[in-house]
A and B are shown apart, each in its own frame.
Chain A
């Protein structure tokens, strides 16, 4: 790797970092707004989520000298918030969002990304677990709903391995160049749908949190959702990922970069809209979680079956077909 390549990788990684941090709260604001519209409630402005995060970040955490549970509740986010944020940000940097050639390409393993996102999500639930029974049980139920998707992730790893003989995202996505999502790309579209089930549903009403640690926790939640959406979009449409490093001229490279960013934003918005449309279905949280788990499992299995069926089908012989057509009366 030349110095130029390394500098380009560093630049692309830094750009992805900045874009991901900027887009994640915006996308969650969009999801909140769309979900509220779908549920028939008043929609909040898209930028309100950003505003809440920035307001919470500026507030210094206050420690109340009070009894035990409140004390744990107050000092736990000081550790949990940064940890959850760091895990989510690392996962977001490992997934190619709009371009190949990142500095982290060789570490981008699907299992690693999935487990980092899972860890970030569980860390975010810990402060709620220290509260009284109702809040703690609700948080634990969310953890169960998240854990329900995890076994399906292993099946998606099998899908990746069957396609590229590795679980490295950059290598597999680089090798995928299916044009038609209804033909040779169908298994990967189904795999992407299976990953969409991992995006957590948003709360019906958003409350402003207090303190920088809570702000970090909110951003971590947004990053987790964005990374799942990006991963699903990558699998569904790998052709949208730009190859900036392979561009011949500087101008072509800049054009490819902007096109990659545009495609990434478009597919993220589209997938967020699809997920928000699910709020129109009036089902309870437990049924919704069960539905997501079952959908992820079925989609992953169907994707694997389609992939193996496509491989086992003998290729059509055009010469034999022509002879048959010519010999027919």
Chain B
């Protein structure tokens, strides 16, 4: 019911409802949040009743994904923009989460993906995603679902602020169909599929982070950072399958816990981050990272929320990302084989996880240096205004919800126990986890986020007290007039100026300081990782020359076929339809 009401409020113009200005948006957001919390709270009782309506049923997995999509709807609700289709797309995705029949899943999920198209330019990729999703909804090989999930997780960032949540919604649809197919009784998961899920998840993250570290577009950087929960979810599905094949019920349960916690505590952080990103995109009016900078000066409230969300996305303790990472590593260690050669794939996988975390931190640093720190690199950025509390409360609510849930990981796992049972396939008879602790499958390792939060709070409190009691207060000193040259100030004259007085700078932001640019991160990483000898340079130049040539040819081909480029979406549709027909014929 809250979902229907929220959707109705989203699509109805304010003048029809008669609420005071701005109140309708708040009501709609409140209903979205209520729907998400109802789905989470009702999970222990899910799956007990029959169908809500034919083809739709509130089973545990459906409730889990309903929560994820409702959070997206909550963050996508930006009042006064009735042309935005994102709340409708989120509603459709929520219905897809509850669909148990393939036809219902195809209809609602495809509708959600189509509604998330932001424009004609990226329609071909969107159509491909939609068609692959539709193909994976019907009983077919698990490969189809894997390909659909990966393709859905490669959604690019939209420039329009209204569609900031679209890539996350697409990734959610892909994950939904992957999990639904995995839970089918006739689903056969081969070792090649498990390896694809694990290696593909790591490579997907690394590829996304490589884009974040090199891109000049703010939307691409934000989406790349926010896609970490989706990659972790894909990896966890692979780990569940691997643990089931190894007949390790405890590890399968642990891997299922990774997936459930990822959706409940890490997904909202990504949604909140994208929501702040949308406000930033709207405030600064450009998508170019090189024209931003100094957001802390111009919009401190927005910058603070963005910084918190960015920190939580980097998997640093005690954030929710670290809980997921810790459980993921423990589940992998639980599947470690004896002997160096047989354990080598697990070692490579763990090394890849470490590389992901390292690159995530570096990408976050780059993003912070270009957006939050320094000074404005364009006049438009200097005109950026702050966002009021009412507009930012979805971000505060999602981050607060994730933080609160992260402090109660054991309790949360009790709440989502039906999902864990359905995903791991067996009911694990193990001692119930304490409310505040996550326990590893080995039974010896544990992680208590609230303990670390307490330690940090005590240390910070003592430092604050010492500073307040022992040190004198801060003193504010007015800076002297700006120096033109040493010992020459504005308004003075010097013998060599011929009676003219020195003037202030004509540039809008004072001295032409050189700020760190877009190439800071890639250059530093390249210098550290790649060899720099003369032979290596020649080799790199040859490879770069080859790729440039290939790209030039490709561009030429695309330009020469520009007449058909507008019909790219239709061509993709036709091709995919042919592929579907052939698959249906052979099956």
Contacts and interface: CB of A to CB of B under 8 A. Distances in A.
Contacts of B346: 158
B554 interface: no
A90 B452 CA distance: 8
Contacts of B444: 164-166, 168, 171
B528 A289 contact: yes
Interface stretch (B193-201, B395-403, B515-523): B515-523
Contact of A112 (B297, B317, B528): B317
A304 interface: yes
Interface stretch (B56-64, B162-170, B352-360): B352-360
A158 to B, nearest CB: 6
A141 B527 contact: yes
B519 to A, nearest CB: 9
A164 B443 CA distance: 12
Nearest to B511: A67
Interface string A240-257: 000000000000000000
Nearest to A90: B455
Query: Main secondary structure on chain A at its contact with chain B?
Result: helix
B315 A62 contact: no
A60 B528 contact: no
A212 B455 contact: no
A60 B350 contact: no
Given A82-B464, A86-B459, A112-B317, A68 B452 contact: no
A36 interface: no
Contact of B528 (A71, A104, A148): A148
A308 B358 CA distance: 27
Given A60-B473, A132-B514, A107 B452 contact: yes
Contacts of B333: 157-158, 161, 167
Interface string A171-196: 10000000000000000000000000
B474 A158 contact: no
B445 A109 contact: yes
A308 B477 CA distance: 64
A152 B348 CA distance: 11
Nearest to A289: B528
B19 interface: no
Q: Which of A126, A144, A212 has the most CB of B within 10 A?
A: A144
Given A58-B471, A69-B513, A133 B520 contact: yes
Contacts of A162: 336
A8 interface: no
B155 interface: no
B447 interface: yes
Nearest to A171: B444
B520 A136 contact: yes
Interface in B279-307: 294, 296-297
Contacts of B452: 90, 107, 112
A119 to B, nearest CB: 4
Contacts of B366: 140
A293 to B, nearest CB: 8
Given A115-B322, A166-B444, A216-B463, A305 B340 contact: yes
A115 to B, nearest CB: 5
Contacts of B376: 68
A211 B445 CA distance: 40
Contacts of B529: 290
A291 B329 CA distance: 27
A136 B369 contact: yes
Contacts of A107: 446-448, 451-452
Interface of B: 294, 296-297, 315-317, 322, 325-326, 329-330, 333, 336, 338-340, 343, 346-347, 350-355, 357-359, 361-362, 365-366, 368-369, 373-376, 440, 442, 444-448, 451-452, 455-456, 459-460, 463-464, 467, 471-479, 509-510, 513-517, 520-521, 523-525, 527-529
Interface of A: 57-58, 60-69, 71-72, 76, 82-83, 85-87, 89-90, 93, 104, 106-107, 109, 111-112, 115-116, 118-119, 122, 125-126, 129-130, 132-134, 136-137, 140-141, 143-145, 147-148, 150-155, 157-158, 161-162, 164-168, 171, 212, 216, 286, 289-290, 293, 301, 304-305, 308-309, 311-312
* Closest 4 pairs (CB-CB, A-B): A151-B354, A166-B444, A147-B358, A130-B373
5 contacts: A60-B475, A136-B515, A150-B355, A157-B329, A161-B442
